[in-house]
Amino acid sequence: MRVINLFKIAFKAIVLNKMRTLLTMLGIIIGVASVIAMLAIGEGSKESIRTTISSMGSNMITIRPGADMRGGVRGSASDMQTLKYEDYEAIKAQSTLLSYMTPVVNGSGQVINGSNNWPSTIYGVNPEYLKIKVVDLQSGSMFTEAEVKSAAKVALIGQTIVENVFPDGQDPVGQMIRFNNIPFKVIGVLEEKGENTFGQDQDDVVIAPYTTVQKRILAIDYLNQIMASAVSEDDAPDAVTEVTEIMRNQHKIGTDQEDNFSVRSMEELISTFSSTSEMLTILLVAVASISLLIGGIGIMNIMYVSVKERTKEIGLRMAVGGKGSDILLQFLIEAILISITGGLIGVILGLGSTVFIEKFLNWPTSVALYSIVISFAVCAITGIFFGWYPARKAAALDPITALRYE
């Protein structure tokens, strides 16, 4: 009953001073709205980075030759011939955490079809490559193990190649192309993947059996890299350790020697990117929090002035029987009502601007429930915290002095 009455009194005071209330709320509104919008942008970009990387195969592991030393001179990874097919076989036989695996050799050259030609890269792989890279076929089919064994001259091509080498719209499947003058039969077209995070065109590829590329194009017997995919994204770090162990054994590297290869998982890449965008989020939230804090100080400011301005009213309320605690509660409720109403409006405005950012600026956003809960809780606490001081000041007034105050 008593609290209900005090609520009525506080509500009345707020309604009677609409302009003052609105101005007080403004700080909180902007604070909450910006916290929500900023967090939505932060979360959104984090998620979009994650999906982009996932589309490249998030549980992918690559093994490259590296850090080879010959007489104190370090060689560049692409020149190195230390990664062999035997390594591939050893990993395949011993590892437990890998689901797919392929040797990779690659070389660049010119794709030619009649009078059309296009510079591109050919990747020599096995049929599991598509599963590792998470690529689907648009038409045709993948080559088989048998075709790998026989080093068949078959190839799959990406969309960029299709556009440039088959400009008149004919179906490339079944056609012949030449790569560095070696004829290949096109047996499939890869689905469009677009650019990856680094701006690399993932559709500008020719895929052929690694045996074919090794023997007929590059004339090499080593591998450029080995690609594999871990059983799951969570297993990727363990898989990296496991593969590293196998490779060290395979290359007979002593305990005090450096690896002459490198094993990387996408997980590392993801965490690098995530931590970057996390930092961005923290920065944005810090900025937004400051505006929320300023909003809180605004409440304190207005409540403080309001207590001064209404000293006589407080004196009267005390004279007709208002206790100190009644006065304290009244002003506290006022502050909390203002900040919570401001918080609600802020949440709506924040969600609205998030939709706006998504729709019109085309930024990826993602509203996290916790951002709403946190900003709302913060503004309620702000109301209590910054309302407390002026409210206590009001409650401590001496009724006689307050009544005489002009």
Partner 1 sequence: MTKAIIKIEDLKREFTMGNETVHALKGISYAINEGEFVTIMGSSGSGKSTMLNILGCLDQPSSGVYEIDGVKVKDLSKNELATIRNKKIGFIFQSYNLLAKTSAIENVELPLLYNSKVSTEERRERAIKALQMVGLGERLDHTPAQLSGGQQQRVAIARSLVNNPVILLADEATGNLDTRTSYEIMSLFQELNKQGITIAFVTHEPDIATFSSRTIVLKDGNIIKDYKNENIQSAKAELAKLPIEDH
Q: How far is the CB of 43 from partner 1 (least distance, A)?
A: 45
Query: Residue from 5, 81, 170, 275 that binds partner 1 (CB under 8 A)?
Result: 5
Q: How far is the CB of 16 from partner 1 (least distance, A)?
A: 5
Q: Are the C-beta atoms of 106 and 213 separated by less than 8 Å?
A: yes
**Part in contact with partner 1 (CB under 8 A); list of ranges 5-13, 150-158, 272-280, 381-389:** 5-13
127 lines the binding site for partner 1 (CB under 8 A): no
In the numeric block, the tokens 């965490």 are attached to 271
Q: Are the C-beta atoms of 158 and 190 separated by less than 8 Å?
A: yes
205 DSSP 8-state letter = E
Query: Residue from 253, 294, 357, 403 that binds partner 1 (CB under 8 A)?
Result: 403
1 lines the binding site for partner 1 (CB under 8 A): yes
What is the Cα–Cα distance from 91 to 196, expressed in whole angstroms? Answer: 28
Find, among 253, 254, 252, 226, the residue nearest to 240 by Cα.
226
**Part in contact with partner 1 (CB under 8 A); list of ranges 1-9, 98-106, 208-216, 386-394:** 1-9
Q: Which is nearer to partner 1, 159 or 306 (CB)?
A: 306
What is the separation of C-alpha 313 from the centre of its chain, rounded to a whole number of angstroms?
A: 55
Query: Residue from 279, 287, 319, 373 that binds partner 1 (CB under 8 A)?
Result: 319
Q: Which is nearer to partner 1, 9 or 391 (CB)?
A: 9
Q: Would you say the C-alpha torsion 125, 226, 91, 72 has a positive or negative sign?
A: positive
Q: Beta-carbon neighbour count of residue 178 at 10 Å?
A: 17
Q: How far is the CB of 286 from partner 1 (least distance, A)?
A: 41
Q: How far is the CB of 396 from partner 1 (least distance, A)?
A: 10
Residues whose CB falls within 8 Å of the CB of residue 223, separated by 6 or more in sequence, listed in order: 83, 84, 85, 87, 88, 103, 104, 105, 210
Q: Which is nearer to partner 1, 33 or 328 (CB)?
A: 328
Tokens of 32: 């909450």
Q: Segment 371-400, which members bind partner 1 (CB under 8 A)?
A: 399-400
What is the Cα–Cα distance from 6 to 2, expressed in whole angstroms? Answer: 6
What is the Cα–Cα distance from 161 to 385, expressed in whole angstroms? Answer: 64
Q: Can you name the residues that pair with 141 across neighbouring β-strands?
A: none
- How long, in residues, is the chain? 406
8 lines the binding site for partner 1 (CB under 8 A): yes
308 lines the binding site for partner 1 (CB under 8 A): no
b/e sequence 261-296, b meaning 16+ C-beta within 10 Å = bbbebbbebbeebbeebeeebeebbeebbebbeebb
Query: Residue from 74, 149, 312, 359 that binds partner 1 (CB under 8 A)?
Result: 312
Q: How far is the CB of 405 from partner 1 (least distance, A)?
A: 11
Q: Which is nearer to partner 1, 154 or 302 (CB)?
A: 302
Query: Residue from 322, 343, 383, 390 that binds partner 1 (CB under 8 A)?
Result: 322
Q: Segment 141-160, which members bind partner 1 (CB under 8 A)?
A: none
Interhelix angle 2-16/324-360, rounded to 10 degrees, is 60
Query: Residue from 147, 203, 326, 334 that binds partner 1 (CB under 8 A)?
Result: 326
Query: Residue from 121, 324, 374, 388 that binds partner 1 (CB under 8 A)?
Result: 324
Query: Residue from 22, 77, 316, 349 that binds partner 1 (CB under 8 A)?
Result: 316
Query: Residue from 19, 93, 146, 320 that binds partner 1 (CB under 8 A)?
Result: 320
10 lines the binding site for partner 1 (CB under 8 A): no
Site string for partner 1, 15-54 (x = CB under 8 A): -x--------------------------------------
Query: Residue from 53, 303, 318, 394 that binds partner 1 (CB under 8 A)?
Result: 318
Three-state SS annotation for 376-400: HHHHHHHHHHHHHHHHHHHHCCCHH
Q: Can you name the residues that pair with 108 across neighbouring β-strands?
A: 121
Query: Interface with partner 1 by CB under 8 A: which residues?
Result: 1-2, 5, 8-9, 12, 16, 312-313, 315-326, 399-400, 403
